[in-house]
Amino acid sequence: MSDLSLSYLILWGSQTGNAEWIAKNIHTEASKKGYTGQCFVMDDYEQAPLQTTDILILVCSNTGDGDAPDNSLKFWKFLRRNKDKTYFKHAKFTVLGLGDSNYSNFNNTGKRLEKKLKDLGATVFYEKGLADDAEGLEETVDPWIEKLWEVLPTVLVQKSELSIKDSIEAEKQIEKEMTELQIDPYSMKNRKESLPEPVEKYAKLDHSLVVPPTEPLKRGSPLQISLEGLAPGAKLTGLPRVAVPVVKLTRLDDKRKQEDRKEVPAFVATPAPISYAPVTMVSCLSSADAVKRTLEVELDVGEGVDYEPGDAFGVVAPNDEDLVQAILHRLSIPLEEANNDLYKIEGGNLPSHLQHASSATLLELFRYAVDLTSQPRKAFFRMLADHTSDPKEKLSLMYICSKQGTAAFNAIRDECPTLLDILETFPSCQPPIERVLDLLPAHLPRFYSISSSPLKRNGKIRFAFNVVEYITRGNVERKGVATPWMDRVTERVPSRTTPTNVEITMDKTIQIPIFLRQNANAFTLPAETERPLILIGPGTGIAPFIGFLEHRQMQRKIRLSMGGVGSHPERQIREAFGPVHVYYGFRNRSMDFLFEKEIREFEADGTITHLALAESRASDGSPKVYVQDLIRRDSAQLFDLIINKDAAIYVCGDAKGMAKDVQDALVEILVNHQQMDVVEANKTLFSWIASKKYLRDLWA
C-alpha cells in the first residue's frame, strides 16, 4: 500500500465542452469509486496541487489545426517557461486527447502534453488515448475510460475492503454489467405505467395545461434507423456508462421581468465582455443561383476598439426560436412557464456553461446554454433509453449506442439531427429536463474573421460568411445557428444581380451581441512590410485576406503621402513593401466571385502583385481548376519567394479537402526544387508552422 498515491488531479482544457464533460464525468465516477482527488480547468493550475499530487490525468481537446484550447493557454505558457526537469519527478500521468483527423496536426495538443510532462520529469502510468472526432470520439474515449478503472487501483489508494487484484476484477465485472445487455424483445418489465416524476410535477401545477399555439409548432423529422444485426437473444456490448446526474433545477419565487429579456442572459460566459454592435451595412456577395448565399456585414464597434486584420470575434446568437419552443413543448413544459418562471441550477461539478445560471428561465437556458443541433453523444441516447417506456423504442436506443449499432449511430450522426428530431423518433421517451441539461453540450459562440482594416474603416469591422442551409442525404432541411439568424435579423437582403454587389446601409437599429477574441495564433500581417506574402483562400477563406490587403493598401498610401528621399523616392517607397501573391478560388465567376470589385482594385493599384484565380465550375464547361493546381503551376516562382525571400504563407478555408491539397502542393515544391523526400518536406512545413512562417486558419 505504501507505493500507492493518496490522491489524483484531473486537469482539462476544452474548446467546445467535450473535454470538460469527459473530465468531470471521470472525476465524479472516481469519487463514487472511493478515490480522492480534484478537478480543475488547466488555466486554474495555480489553484491546483500540482506539486503535492502524484497522479495526474489530463484531458484536452484541440482547436484549429492542433492548437491548444483557449482555457489552457495560461497553463501552456507556464509549461513552456518551466525549465526544471525535475518539476514533475514525483508524478505519474496519463493523457486523453480529443482531436480531428481532418486536420494535419491531429491531436497535436495531447501529444505535446505527454512530451512536455515527460521533459519535466513525470512518468506515464497509463498509455495516452487519442480520440478522433471524424470517426466518433466515443470509439476511443469509452474503452480508454473503461481500462482506466482497471489501472487506477494499481497506482492510487481506493477506499475499499478489496485487495488491488480483487478491485480490478470487480471493476471488470461492473463494466461488463453496465456496458452489456441481453436482448429479450418480449420483456415488459421496463414498461412505465405512469408519467415520469419530473414530467408529472409540471402536470400538477396551476395553469399547466398546454394551450394550443396560435401558429403550428415546428415539427421534427423522425429518424429512419436501421436495426439490421439486432437479433433476439443477441448481446449488446460496448454500451456507454450511465452519466452521473449533476444538474438540479430549483424554482425561484420571482418571475422574469420584461425589461430583462432584451439582452443575452447574464449566465452566458464569454472570454471578453459582450458588446452590442449596431449593423451599419449588409451586402449579399453571391448571386441568387449560387450554391451558397454569402453575406458581408459591417458593424459599428466604436473608435476605442483596437484590432488587426486577421483577428476574430465571437457572435452570441440564440438557438432557433421555433426549435426551442417545439422542444420545450415536446418535453411537456408549458410555454408560459418556460418564458416567465425563474430557476436556479445547482449541483456539484456543474459544466462551465451552467455554473452561472442562478436565475434563468427554461426558454433562456434552451436559447443560450445548450446546443440543440450538434451531433449527439452515445451517452445521450443511453440516458434517453432509461426514460423510454416502449420496449421497442428502448431497445432501439440501446442498440444505437452499443458496439453492434455503430453503423446505425454513424448514420444518425451523418443526418445531423436536432434534439427535436431525436425526441420525435421515440414518442414514449420523456426525459427529465435536468437530465437533458446534464447531457446536452454547451451552446457556443460562433467566431468570424475580420475582413477589414482599421486604417480604412475606423471604428467599424466587416466580416463575411456563408449562410448555412442544406439538405441531408435523407432529404431533410438543415440550417446552422448563427448565420441564418444574422441573415434573418438583417432582413434577408436580396442577392446581387450584377458583378458588383450592392452595399445596403441599415437605417434601423439592429444590434449583434459580439466580443473580440485574442489572436493567439498570430494569423496577422507580419510587422516587416517588405516581407513577401502568399495568401491562399478559396471561397469565404478570402475574407480575412481582404482585410490584409486593405491594410497593406492603406500602409502604401500613407507611406507615399510621406514622400521619399534620394534620387528615386518612388522606387524606394515601392521597395518598402514586399510582393503579395494571392491564390483565390470559387465555383463560378458570375455566381460567387466574392469581393470582385475590391480584388480588382487591389490588383490595379499594385497592392496585389500576382493574382491567380481558380474556377472549379465554369459556365463554359472548362476543366475544373483549384488553388492547389495554380500553386503547382507557379512552383518555381513560389519556391524562390518562400526559400530565398522568406515569404510568409497564409492559408484560410476548409480543413477537410483544400488545406490538405494545398499542403501536398507545397510538399511537392520542396520535393521538386530542393530535392527533399516527402517525409522531410512535411517536417519542414511543420517547422514553418511552429515558427509562424506558415499560418493557417481552418475549419472543418
5-19 pLDDT per residue, tens: 999 999 999 999 999
Give residue 171's pLDDT.
Answer: 52
Q: Which of 76-90, 210-224, 343-357, 511-525 has the lowest mean pLDDT?
A: 210-224
Give residue 140's pLDDT.
Answer: 94
Q: Is the pLDDT of residue 193 over 50?
A: no
Band (519; pLDDT cuts 50, 70, 90): confident
Q: Is the pLDDT of residue 213 over 50?
A: no
Give residue 176's pLDDT.
Answer: 54
Give residue 183's pLDDT.
Answer: 52
Q: Is 540 helix (H, G, I), strand (E, B) or coil?
A: helix
- Across 36-86, the runs of DSSP E, i.e. the strands, are 37-41, 55-61
> At the top level of CATH, which class does the domain 276-317+445-517 belong to?
mainly beta
Joined together, the cell numbers standing for residue 27 give: 472525476
Domain with CATH 1.20.990.10 in the chain: 319-438
Higher-pLDDT residue of 64, 279: 279
Torsion angles phi and psi, residue 553, rounded to 5: -60, -45
Domain with CATH 2.40.30.10 in the chain: 276-317+445-517
CA torsion sign for 370, 372, 376, 382 is positive
Band (211; pLDDT cuts 50, 70, 90): very low
Tens of pLDDT, residues 560-611: 888 765 667 677 777 889 999 999 999 999 999 999 999 999 999 999 999 9
Band (206; pLDDT cuts 50, 70, 90): very low
Q: What is the CATH number of domain 533-563+570-698?
A: 3.40.50.80
Band (260; pLDDT cuts 50, 70, 90): low
Domain with CATH 3.40.50.360 in the chain: 8-157
Band (203; pLDDT cuts 50, 70, 90): very low
The residue with cell 493599384 is 605
**Percentage of the chain modeled with pLDDT above 70:** 90
Architecture of the CATH domain 319-438: Up-down Bundle (1.20)
Higher-pLDDT residue of 211, 101: 101
CA torsion sign for 210, 212, 213, 219 is positive
Give residue 682's pLDDT.
Answer: 95
Tens of pLDDT, residues 76-87: 999 999 999 999
Tens of pLDDT, residues 318-358: 999 999 999 999 999 999 999 999 999 999 889 999 999 99
Joined together, the cell numbers standing for residue 460 give: 467599424
Joined together, the cell numbers standing for residue 329 give: 413543448
Mean pLDDT estimate for the chain: 89
Q: Which of 58-62, 454-458, 459-463, 571-575 has the lowest mean pLDDT?
A: 571-575
Q: Is the pLDDT of residue 517 over 50?
A: yes
CATH fold of 8-157 reads: Rossmann fold (3.40.50)
Q: Is the pLDDT of residue 1 over 90?
A: no
Band (190; pLDDT cuts 50, 70, 90): very low
DSSP 394-453: HHHHHHHTSSTTHHHHHHHHHH---HHHHHHHSTTB---HHHHHHHSPBP--EEEE--S-
